[in-house]
Amino acid sequence: MKSTRVAMIVAVAVVLGVGASTAAGSTRSATNVTISVASLIPGSTQQAINQFNAQVAQFEKKNPTIKVKPTQYQWTAPTFAAKLAAGTLPTVFEVPFTDARTLGDHGQLANLTPYFEKLPYHKKYNKAVLAEGTDAKGQIIALPKGAYAQALHYNRALFQQAGLNPNKPPTTWAQIRTDARIITQKTGKPGYVEMAKNDNTAGWILTTLVYALGGRMETGTGTHAKATLDNKYTIQALNMLKTMRWTDNSMGSNFDLGWSDINQAFAAGGVGMYISGSDVYTNLVQAYNVDPSIYGVTTIPLANNKTAGVLGGGTLAAVRPNANKAELAAAMKWISFFYEQPLVSKGQAIRNAKTLVANKQPVGVPALPLFNRKQYELANSWIEPYINVPIGHMKPFLNGIFTQNLIPEPEASTQSVYAALNAVVEAVLTNKSTNVQQMLQQANAQAQAAIKQGS
């Protein structure tokens, strides 16, 4: 009986203890504020983590009342949606251009307008870029982190092994096809690889190809937009892939690669050419320690017509909608410090570059201007002594990108449009007898339904 009583007391104490500790965990100092911020993607190298931590230390030194808790973060459609639903996103997180406006309209991002207007450089923003972070009410709900144009990344070593000149990358789609075939024949490695995973990257890259040929995936805006996935340029792009896959056999044998997978495969030397954002070199270094000598990047070849263009996109920094006033103010300070000031403040740009160089992280990765080209070139001139990326290998891209017609991603239901295209790309790459036209019609109907629903 005695032992039962003792056990009872212990059980009650445990139950009460759980409650007490939960209550204690929710208390917070009134003067200090802690925010969690998106840091690096999982699997980043220790040097990359050190570099990030050094920037956190600099920020905390400048803002002694703010404690910053770095949280590993990688935006992918499913994980973002799960974290959004569960309320487990960090206080400051990143979203692609395609999503911010809709999330803002749904009340899922904090309103940053009052803090934005206090930024000394807020009038310098490129209006088109800023519009990506502005909701239907005109509120600023996210600030740009970076913008990219799609580019063709290639392995210079494989080019050389195949007897191709790495300083003269392909400038037409016909050349891409020929070079891919030669690389496969001479090296045994896939000459051209494409993201074809069912995580919307397949649709994203196909859209890039279609833009480059002159097509568009939709016309109009909002829920009144018309899906045009089954246009002649999409058919042309898919037929081109079909030929490279089944006739040339130059695309390898694995067709379920997503963004991280293809970066990993490229860094491991297993990919001749692939399409991704111009800023992907940062990930290739941070996550996969790519050998700089093999890396080359050029512009995507555009068809010779007026509508052909290069798909551009970007990333924005946003704040959780349930952040309190103190957290919101601290979050904006971090966004300004980490994302924006290196582009507008000479002192911060140099400090940032020095930290990156000290930790062997890339400085000078090709990106697009968030403000204007003049400001972009000025900021680049500040960090010129610290540039450590193989800038010579990037010249084909840097020399050509500002002459290309930059086209934003489909505006209405972007991710749903990409999702509808995933299956078509998968079908072309895994089934020789795919009826492209029929599949595109189905995809178009699916995308149109999503656009109508605004999902």
Kindly list the residues in this chain that would bind other proteins in the complex (CB under 8 A).
4-5, 7-8, 11-12, 14-15, 75, 77-82, 84-85, 87, 95, 99, 102-103, 106-108, 197-199, 252-256, 321, 415-416, 419, 422-423, 426-427, 429-431, 446, 455
CB of 31 to other proteins, least distance (A): 29
CB of 202 to other proteins, least distance (A): 9
CB of 111 to other proteins, least distance (A): 13
Q: Which is nearer to other proteins, 407 or 429 (CB)?
A: 429
- Asked if 436 and 242 count as a contact pair (C-beta separation under 8 A), the reply is yes
Compute the CA torsion angle 236, 241, 245, 250 (nearest 10 deg).
Answer: 120
CB of 379 to other proteins, least distance (A): 30
Spatial CA neighbour of 197 closest among 42, 423, 415: 423
Q: Which is nearer to other proteins, 98 or 345 (CB)?
A: 98
Q: Which is nearer to other proteins, 99 or 340 (CB)?
A: 99
Q: Mention every residue, 6+ apart, whose C-beta is less than 8 A from residue 213.
A: 173, 233, 236, 237, 303, 308
CB of 99 to other proteins, least distance (A): 6
Q: Which is nearer to other proteins, 373 or 432 (CB)?
A: 432
Spatial CA neighbour of 332 closest among 65, 28, 83, 35: 35
CB of 94 to other proteins, least distance (A): 12
CB of 72 to other proteins, least distance (A): 17
- For the chain, the three-class secondary structure string (H helix, E strand, C coil) is CHHHHHHHHHHHHHHHHHHHHHHHHCCCCCCCEEEEEECCCCCCCHHHHHHHHHHHHHHHHHCCCEEEEEECCCCCHHHHHHHHHHCCCCCEEEEEHHHHHHHHHCCCCCCCHHHHCCCCCHHHCCHHHHHCCECCCCCECCEEEEEEEEEEEEEHHHHHHCCCCCCCCCCCHHHHHHHHHHHHHHHCCCCECCCCCCCCHHHHHHHHHHHHHCCCCEECCHHHCEECCCCHHHHHHHHHHHHHHHHCCCCCCCCCCCHHHHHHHHHCCCCCEEEEECCCHHHHHHHHCCCHHHEEEEECCCCCCCCCCEEEEEEEEEECCCCCHHHHHHHHHHHHHHHHHHHHCHHHHHHHHHHHHHCCCCCCCCCECCCCHHHHHHHHHHHHHHCCCCHHHHHHHHHHHHHCCEEECCCCCHHHHHHHHHHHHHHHHHCCCCCHHHHHHHHHHHHHHHHHHCC
Q: Which is nearer to other proteins, 199 or 327 (CB)?
A: 199
CB of 372 to other proteins, least distance (A): 30
Q: Which is nearer to other proteins, 25 or 87 (CB)?
A: 87
Q: Which is nearer to other proteins, 217 or 389 (CB)?
A: 217
- Asked if 344 and 375 count as a contact pair (C-beta separation under 8 A), the reply is yes
Q: Which is nearer to other proteins, 252 or 301 (CB)?
A: 252
CB of 46 to other proteins, least distance (A): 22
CB of 405 to other proteins, least distance (A): 27
Q: Which is nearer to other proteins, 381 or 430 (CB)?
A: 430
CB of 104 to other proteins, least distance (A): 11
Q: Which is nearer to other proteins, 77 or 329 (CB)?
A: 77
Sign of CA dihedral 115, 118, 119, 125: positive
CB of 357 to other proteins, least distance (A): 34
State the Cα–Cα distance between residues 342 and 223, nearest whole angstrom: 37
Q: Which is nearer to other proteins, 11 or 57 (CB)?
A: 11
Q: Which is nearer to other proteins, 7 or 128 (CB)?
A: 7
